C-alpha cells in the first residue's frame, strides 16, 4: 500500500550498497539483480532508484522521466537476458493483499521456462 517509505528496507540497503546483490543491470533510474530465492530459471528483480513503497506509490508520485526510465530498464534487462524471443513474465505485488513483502517498488521478471497462463 502507500505508507511512509522505510529507508531501512532491504532493497534500500541494497541500493545504498550496504547489502550485496547479484547485479544484472544498473542505470540512473533502475537497478536489477537476481532474486535470492528464484522461482524460475530467470528470476530478476528490477527496482527504481527513487524511494517508492509500491507500484501504487510509484505510479502516483514518480516523474515522467523516472517512469519512462524504469520501464525502459525493465525492457532492456529482459532483452539483454535473451528473453525477448522466448518470452517472459512481469509481476509486481502491491500491498498486503497483493502479497508484497519488501516495501520498495519492484517488478519481478520471470523467464527461462514455459510459465503457463495461470493467473494470478
Which three three-digit cell numbers place residue 31? 537497478
The residue written with cell numbers 539483480 in the block is 33
Q: What element of type H or E holds 71?
A: helix 64-80
82 binds ligand 5GP (CB under 6 A): no
65 binds ligand 5GP (CB under 6 A): no
The region of 46-54, 62-70, 78-86, 94-102 touching ligand 5GP under the rule CB under 6 A is: 94-102
33 binds ligand 5GP (CB under 6 A): yes
Which of residues 21 and 78 has its CB atom nearest to ligand 5GP in the complex? 21
CA 93 to chain centre: 10
Strand order across the 42-48 sheet: 23-26, 30-34, 42-48, 107-111, 89-91
Which of residues 32 and 62 has its CB atom nearest to ligand 5GP in the complex? 32
54 binds ligand 5GP (CB under 6 A): no
Amino acid at each position: 500500500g502507500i505508507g511512509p517509505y522505510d529507508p531501512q528496507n532491504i532493497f534500500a540497503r541494497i541500493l545504498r550498497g550496504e547489502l550485496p546483490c547479484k547485479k544484472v543491470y544498473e542505470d540512473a533510474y533502475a537497478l536489477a539483480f537476481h532474486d535470492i530465492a528464484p522461482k524460475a530459471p530467470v528470476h530478476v528483480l528490477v527496482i527504481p532508484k527513487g524511494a517508492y513503497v509500491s507500484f501504487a506509490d510509484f505510479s502516483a508520485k514518480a516523474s515522467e522521466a523516472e517512469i519512462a526510465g524504469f520501464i525502459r530498464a525493465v525492457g532492456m534487462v529482459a532483452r539483454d537476458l535473451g528473453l525477448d524471443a522466448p518470452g517472459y513474465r512481469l509481476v509486481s505485488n502491491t500491498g498486503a493483499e497483493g502479497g508484497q513483502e519488501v516495501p520498495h517498488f519492484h517488478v519481478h521478471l520471470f523467464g527461462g521456462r514455459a510459465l503457463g497462463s495461470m493467473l494470478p
